[in-house]
């Protein structure tokens, strides 16, 4: 016995099963990502002044990814239209471009994530600050000197710090905290802080700094544990990336083995491409909100 209304729409609602099903699913996905966006709102509103990062993410890769996803949205619509217009060749081409866009998006994401995993940040200890630390320095590790004494590592890091404008003391609301003299000293990396010293050498125009491990409150690469911003950034873009992969796998199936249905049952195939396209548009929609929130604000 065949399931009714898989292709033919129900007379009362005007919808077939796939259309109704995908919209119900997308409605639930809105609440999934909505919950995470709400989490972002809480983290951002609760962050003390001067602690929420700004400028840690390079805008260009994010902008290119936005353009790539928007292009893939229009090509998936074109692929569906090609099926409705009985043009198999055009369908293959447009869906192929969509898949290339998906691969390009994941490639750029992989590049961005890799860049973060190799970026270092350290919080230096402070006896007077209530949080236990008062200075944050970011950059790249040049050397990691390990020196174990009594089970503790009392070595040091040699780091090439980020240029002053990218350092935490330039984050937008940190402006209020420093006098012009203090800011000028920080921009020259003259901290007068225990555990932080200049080696006298330079690396790409910035002085190489030596950070004593015993004076470091905590340190890590730019990964979720580093700060709340990276925690929510990796969570949301990671979940979004999983959705990109899932959607791409479905579209890839319809591009290769599943495309046979174009010839055996065209109306059903058109419905399936339409429904897969709807999921793909949703993935694009989430990114349209993620990009400004994470990269620009």
Partner 1 sequence: MEHIRSHLRFYWAIFGALGVFTLITVGVAQIDFGSHANNFAIGLLIATVKAALVALFFMHLWGEKKLIYRILAFTVFFAIGLFALSLLAYFDHTHTF
Q: Is 88 in the site for partner 1 (CB under 8 A)?
A: no
Q: Is 4 in the site for partner 1 (CB under 8 A)?
A: no
Q: How far is CA 13 from CA 9, 16, 294, in A?
A: 8, 8, 40
- The DSSP bridge partners found for residue 212 are 156
Least distance from partner 1 to the Cβ atom of residue 70, Å: 5
Q: Is 130 in the site for partner 1 (CB under 8 A)?
A: no
Q: How far is CA 277 from CA 77, 115, 184, 270, in A?
A: 7, 31, 53, 10
Q: At what angle do helices 59-84 and 266-291 cross, to 10 degrees?
A: 160
* DSSP letter for each residue of 201-231: EEETTEEEEEEEGGGEEEEEESSTTT-HHHH
Q: Is 67 in the site for partner 1 (CB under 8 A)?
A: yes
* CA–CA dist 184, 45 (Å, integer): 29
List the one residue from 1, 3, 27, 148 that touches partner 1 (CB under 8 A).
27
Q: Is 13 in the site for partner 1 (CB under 8 A)?
A: yes
Least distance from partner 1 to the Cβ atom of residue 37, Å: 7
Contact code string over 202-241 relative to partner 1, x by CB under 8 A:
----------------------------------------
CB closer to partner 1, 70 vs 223: 70
Q: By rule CB under 8 A, what count of residues binds partner 1? A: 49
Q: Is 81 in the site for partner 1 (CB under 8 A)?
A: yes
Output phi, psi for 140, to 5 deg.
-120, 140
* CA–CA dist 181, 159 (Å, integer): 24
Quick one: which segment of 24-32, 132-140, 178-186, 255-263 binds partner 1 (CB under 8 A)? Answer: 24-32
Considering only residues 144 to 183 of the shown chain, the ones binding partner 1 according to CB under 8 A are 172-173
CB closer to partner 1, 14 vs 200: 14
* CA–CA dist 80, 277 (Å, integer): 8
Q: Is 23 in the site for partner 1 (CB under 8 A)?
A: yes
Quick one: which segment of 47-55, 209-217, 225-233, 259-267 binds partner 1 (CB under 8 A)? Answer: 47-55
Least distance from partner 1 to the Cβ atom of residue 244, Å: 15
* CA–CA dist 184, 15 (Å, integer): 65
Sheet strands side by side (includes 216-221): 196-203, 206-212, 156-161, 133-145, 120-125, 216-221
List the one residue from 4, 8, 46, 58 that touches partner 1 (CB under 8 A).
46
Quick one: which segment of 8-16, 102-110, 151-159, 236-244 binds partner 1 (CB under 8 A)? Answer: 8-16
Rg of the chain taking only CA atoms, in angstroms: 26
Collapsing DSSP to helix, strand or coil, 142 comes out as strand
Task: List all residues 6 or more positions away from 174 whose beta carbon is below 8 Å from its beta carbon.
Answer: 49, 50, 168
| Interacting residues with partner 1 (CB under 8 A) | 13-15, 19-20, 23-24, 27, 30-31, 34-35, 37-38, 41-42, 45-49, 59, 63, 66-67, 70-71, 73-74, 77-78, 81, 84-85, 172-173, 277-278, 281-282, 284-285, 288-289, 291-293, 296-297
């Amino acid at each position: 016995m065949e399931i009714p209304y898989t292709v033919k729409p129900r007379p009362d609602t005007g919808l077939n099963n796939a259309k109704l099903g995908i919209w119900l699913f997308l409605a639930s996905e809105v609440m999934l990502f909505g919950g995470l966006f709400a989490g972002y709102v809480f983290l951002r509103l609760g962050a003390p002044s001067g602690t929420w990062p700004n400028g840690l993410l390079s805008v260009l890769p994010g902008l290119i990814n936005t353009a790539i996803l928007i292009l893939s949205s229009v090509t998936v619509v074109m692929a569906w239209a090609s099926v409705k217009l009985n043009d198999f060749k055009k369908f293959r081409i447009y869906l192929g471009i969509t898949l290339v866009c998906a691969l390009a998006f994941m490639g750029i994401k992989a590049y961005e994530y890799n860049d973060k995993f190799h970026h270092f940040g350290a919080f230096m200890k402070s006896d007077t600050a209530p949080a236990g630390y008062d200075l944050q320095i970011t950059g790249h590790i040049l050397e990691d000197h390990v020196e174990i004494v009594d089970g503790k590592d009392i070595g040091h890091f040699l780091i090439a710090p980020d240029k002053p404008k990218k350092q935490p003391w330039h984050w937008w609301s940190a402006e209020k905290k420093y006098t012009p003299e203090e800011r000028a000293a920080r921009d020259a990396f003259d901290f007068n802080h225990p555990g932080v010293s200049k080696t006298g050498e330079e690396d790409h125009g910035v002085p190489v700094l030596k950070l004593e491990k015993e004076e470091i409150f905590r340190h890590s690469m730019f990964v979720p544990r580093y700060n709340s911003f990276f925690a929510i950034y990796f969570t949301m873009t990671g979940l979004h990336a999983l959705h990109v992969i899932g959607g791409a796998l479905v579209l890839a199936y319809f591009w290769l083995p599943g495309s046979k249905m174009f010839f055996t049952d065209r109306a059903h195939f058109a419905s399936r491409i339409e429904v897969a396209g709807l999921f793909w548009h949703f993935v694009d929609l989430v990114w349209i909100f993620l990009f400004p929130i994470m990269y620009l604000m």
